[in-house]
Amino acid sequence: MVSLFEDFFEIQKKTHQLVFSWIPFSIGDVLYVLSGICMIYLIILCCRKKNRNAAIIKALVLINIFYFTYQIFWGMLYFQTPIILKLPKAEITLEKRKNLALKYLEKCKKTRSLVKEDEQGVFKVNDLKSVQSEILRQQTQIPSFISDKKSADINSFKPSLFKNVMSFTGILGYYNPFTSEAQYNADLPSSYLPFTLAHESSHQLGFAREQEANFIGYLIGINSSNSELKYSTEYFTLKSLLNSIVYEDEKFVDDLLKNYSTAMKRDRMYERKFVTEHQGWLNDFFGFTNNLFLKSNQQEGFVTYSYFVDLLMHYEK
């Protein structure tokens, strides 16, 4: 059954991208807004005594249609064979993660020297369209033993209509299964942006689990000839490794952060400034709801964010 839904996903993905990709704004976001307005209207009707039962039935029908369509287009893909079962077995130790972190620190230093900066000396993406084109090209280079999914070779990346709100939610981007569009927050620091696009493009390929999408995004970006995509990918990988180490050896992480290049330190400070300026109750709320969403879709909430490191360590072997 899962294989059947995988085949169906390939058909609907290509169809949706052909239909919606040429439109300059996100049709999926418009769909969400219209659905929200419709639900608010039905809720108001439900609060009135007149025709209350009919309004409740309409609301339930709308919710069920939405949920059923979501499961057909996307939800069943959470039951795909985990990528880790396709990789060699590996013992994941603290020492191996430390060595890998040191390796990616040197990679980041080297690639960081190749990218552009803004007037504050912070990494800035110079040509986002080139990054997007490179991501589509690199999708075809994913090892066949990991994936045989086909790239549609259609640029369906869209800046989110909700970018001003997204900055306060902690959400970097999202995939819309109803239109096959990959939405991203255009206001993100450039160190986040290229890898976020690679991550969302992994969802477009059909990888539903968040950390598997991170891993496919890693495969897309790590061997890229585009320095902006490569640096963003290496930097994400380094941060993921440090996050997996910090609770076991905080001193190692502190020492490694001190060894960032001067340019990398500026990027890190800019990221921290962006996060600090956009903290609040929305961030907490969406963090909580995202945790519930992950748990309801064959994942274990925030705990699984170490799963990317597991995949990375297995792949390195």
Give tens-digit pLDDT for 269-290. Answer: 999 999 888 775 445 544 545 5
Per-residue pLDDT, 164: 81
| Strand partners of residue 158 | 183
- Tokens for 270, please give them: 């800019």
Q: Rounded to the nearest 5°, which phi and psi values hold at 183? A: -90, 145
Per-residue pLDDT, 293: 47
Domain range holding 136? Answer: 83-316
- Asked if residues 111 and 231 have their Cβ atoms less than 8 Å apart, the reply is yes
Domain count across the chain: 2
How big is the CA angle at 264 (ends 259 and 268), to the nearest 5 degrees?
Answer: 105
Strands 181-184 and 157-159, sheet pairing: parallel
Per-residue pLDDT, 55: 82
Q: Which residues of the chain have pLDDT under 70?
A: 280-305
Distance CA 258, CA 243 (A): 15
Same domain for 311 and 257: yes
Same domain for 197 and 152: yes
Same domain for 110 and 39: no
End-of-domain residue from the set 43, 77, 111: 77
End-of-domain residue from the set 55, 77, 99: 77
Distance CA 156, CA 174 (A): 12
Distance CA 189, CA 272 (A): 10
Same domain for 219 and 101: yes
- Look up tokens 């993921």; give the residue: 240
Position 46: which residue type? Answer: C
Distance CA 260, CA 254 (A): 10
Same domain for 107 and 143: yes
Same domain for 164 and 44: no
Same domain for 49 and 96: no
Same domain for 99 and 73: no
Q: Which residues contact 185 (CB under 8 A, 6 or more apart)?
A: 159, 160, 163, 166, 167, 171, 172, 173, 196
Helix (H, G, I), strand (E, B) or coil at 158: strand
Same domain for 87 and 209: yes
Helix (H) or strand (E) holding 182: strand 181-184
End-of-domain residue from the set 21, 43, 77: 77
Per-residue pLDDT, 281: 45
Same domain for 178 and 158: yes
Residue 204: Cβ within 10 Å count = 26
Same domain for 123 and 72: no
Helix (H, G, I), strand (E, B) or coil at 123: strand
